Amino acid sequence: MQSRRKFIRGAAFSWSALSIPMLSFAKKAAVTKPIVVSTWDSGLAVNAEAWKVLGKSGKAIDAVEVAANSIENTINCCVGLGGNPDRDGKVTLDACIMDEKANCGSVAFLEKIKNPISVARKVMEKTPHVMLVGEGAQQFALENGFTKESGALSADAEKTYKEWLKKSEYKPVMNIEQQQIKAKKGHGPFAPNYFEDGSFNHDTMGTIALDNSGDLSGACTTSGMGFKMRGRVGDSPIIGAGLFVDNEIGAATSSGQGEEVIRVCGTHLVVEMMRAGKTPKEACKIAVERIIKINPEKARDFQVGFIAINKNGEYGAYSIQPGFSYSVTKADDGGKVYMAESHFAKK
């Protein structure tokens, strides 16, 4: 007669033998690719540029670069040289880029160069470094074929700067898009930050993409917080703060008050939470709540928003304040704009 122990061992063996073919039939999560997600509703136009690459089975790294270039080249735009200046009246740019192999490049406090994201890509590809700043970054850009621009403020920035000079108060404006919509008629599904005259009022554009080969990349470009102290650098050029990509897991980028994102290594945290099994939205929410926990009272006065995608092309976002929109393009349908859920949601 079979002993009880033998029987149990035998039963366990038969069950695991049975489960092997069952596992191989287990339904794999459907992968949505290619897909591109950008911050804000102005991200819709940016995604359209990325789609020109992704839609032809191009690489995510090329897609996110052209996407960032498109907004940097938009004249009436707060991203790039058209953005608001620092307290001294000078526009300084920050950007970073990261590919599927964890190659990354970054520039900060860069002046008079039109496409900081492309300089960041050159840092990634042509130097042993990750980050170049200030004069050194400019010198590197000029040595690599970029042109030195005049440094003149855009008409919009000039006007805003003159207005700011009247009080010269350093006070970051939370959810400026919500305030500007009152003054200027917007369009689009949520309409806060993309105006009839083609101008945008956001200073940061983050774009993350999954290409047809299943590779992830991201780019983040900004003129930074308007009227910042000279030399101030935010989260956007900091890998792990404004942008992080892990090709096994997912990618995330941020917009909002950079200091608060740096404090928690925001996008690295989002990706690590996805690694731990959270959905992109849950991961973004955890990062937002980490920021709020540090200073719950102060958090009522600033905005931070995260967007994320995972390896399956699932996406999500979360912000501190209501008003953070994001754009998703995953087919030739022109894309869609969504409003992120937020911690201080309107009741």
Active site amino acids = 204
The span from the CA of 57 to the CA of 122, in Å, is: 23
65 binds ligand GLY (CB under 6 A): no
The strands making up 325-329's β-sheet, listed across from edge to edge, are 131-133, 104-110, 93-98, 216-222, 204-210, 35-39, 325-329, 336-339
In sequence order, the β-bridge partners of residue 315 are 309
Point out which span in 103-111, 180-188, 220-228, 291-299 binds ligand GLY (CB under 6 A).
220-228
CA neighbor of 188 nearest in space, from 41, 8, 286 = 41
From 192, 218, 234, 313, residue interacting with ligand GLY (rule: CB under 6 A): 234
Query: Residue 27 Cβ, how far from ligand GLY at the closest point, in Å?
Result: 39
Q: How far is the CB of 20 from ligand GLY (least distance, A)?
A: 49
SS3 category, 312: coil
> What are the residues whose beta carbons fall under 8 Å from the beta carbon of 244, sequence distance 6 or more?
98, 218, 251, 252, 253, 267, 268, 270, 271
Asked whether position 256 contacts ligand GLY by CB under 6 A, the answer is yes
Q: Is 234 exposed, middle or buried (0-12, 13-18, 19+ CB in 10 A)?
A: buried
Q: How far apart are CA 139 and CA 120, in angstroms?
A: 13
Contact between 225 and ligand GLY by CB under 6 A: the answer reads: yes
Binding of ligand GLY by 255 (CB under 6 A): yes
Pairing of strands 131-133, 104-110: parallel
Letters for 287-326 (x = contact with ligand GLY by CB under 6 A, - = none) are ----------------------------------------
Stretch that binds ligand GLY, among 134-142, 160-168, 233-241, 245-253 (CB under 6 A): 233-241
Of 225 and 273, nearer to ligand GLY (C-beta) is 225
Q: Give the nearer residue to ligand GLY in terms of CB position, either 109 or 194.
A: 109
Rank residues 195 and 302 by Cβ distance to ligand GLY and give the closer one: 302
Binding-site size, ligand GLY (CB under 6 A): 12
Q: Does 201 bind ligand GLY (CB under 6 A)?
A: no
- Our finding on whether 235 is near ligand GLY (CB under 6 A) is yes
How far apart, in whole angstroms, are the C-alpha atoms of residue 321 and residue 116?
29
Sole binder of ligand GLY in the list 224, 240, 305, 323 (CB under 6 A):
224
CA distance 181 to 198: 14
Question: Under the phi-then-psi rule, with left for phi > 0, alpha for psi from -120 to 50, and beta for the rest, what region is 277?
Answer: left
Give me the residues that bind ligand GLY (CB under 6 A), please.
203-204, 222, 224-225, 234-236, 255-258
